[in-house]
A = this chain, B = another copy of it.
């Protein structure tokens, strides 16, 4: 393992510290936690707080999306490990401005359990809390840490939607409804070229031969659905797009947003080539995305690989939310 770290057990506190001290104008640490919140606390007054988080190792998710117009706070667990309920509870208390707090939870058993416990704790304090469990990964049903489908890069689109709505003054109930309505229209699927190495483990989460790829791998090295010899970008796009098409039934009369997401070690060069092939294959169906982002949004430490998220924009308002200006490190 060759990494720019100190003690492998200290990566999370040091990383969070480096992040908040590099961008003090955007984020601040919530005292005595591994959670970060918006620095402009005063402009959150009268608005619903939005919190996400989970295990670390997915940077810029989630602290990079904290800021005006997006998340109010992000709670970071140890690498690939859910944050504890008390940390999430501290974050809820820190961002509550009287209008309630909405939690965006990725579908992993630990996260679901701990966020739920934090919610219960906050409700004892008379803070209204609602939540959504994001399960956008269509690769497999059930997985190492998940009942049902996993939550992956599509989570960032949910952050964007509910963050914009909250900033525009939507109520907690409206935000819950927005997230619930949007979620089934967001599908993600990934392909891995190599596995992530958790610093405290010191070796890759799985081994892939030098000439093989695996479709459908999760962001914690959960197994995917098929291994093959490495393919061209065109063929990778074809495989991933066909799975999403089967789920979303892509249709020229609909509008779509696209997120092409690097898994951590994949150069932008490859992400743009993949995007080129994606746009060509969508064009065959006469589809041209109305919104697109390409880059590292939901990573798996140093995994090489890419994920494709497509969002069927059934409501015009959703596109407006995606385009709504934010002040974050990483959107």
Contacts and interface: CB of A to CB of B under 8 A. Distances in A.
Interface of A: 2-6, 11, 14-19, 21-23, 56-57, 59-60, 64, 193-194, 210-211, 213, 230, 232-234, 236, 260, 264-277, 279, 292-296, 299, 301-302, 304, 306, 330
Tell me how many chains of this kind the complex includes.
Answer: 2
B268 A60 contact: yes
A267 B11 contact: no
A270 B21 contact: no
7 contacts: A5-B269, A6-B273, A6-B277, A15-B269, A22-B272, A23-B292, A265-B304
A272 B276 CA distance: 31
Nearest to A4: B270
Contacts of A275: 18-19, 21-22
A272 B11 CA distance: 9
| Most chain B Cβ neighbours within 10 Å, of A57, A194, A272 | A272
Given A267-B264, A269-B15, A301-B267, A2 B276 contact: no
Given A4-B236, A18-B274, A19-B294, 16 more contacts: A2-B210, A2-B211, A2-B213, A4-B193, A4-B233, A4-B273, A14-B273, A14-B276, A15-B272, A17-B276, A18-B279, A21-B276, A22-B294, A23-B294, A265-B267, A267-B299
Closest 8 CB pairs of A and B: A18-B276, A18-B272, A18-B275, A59-B268, A4-B270, A265-B265, A15-B272, A22-B292
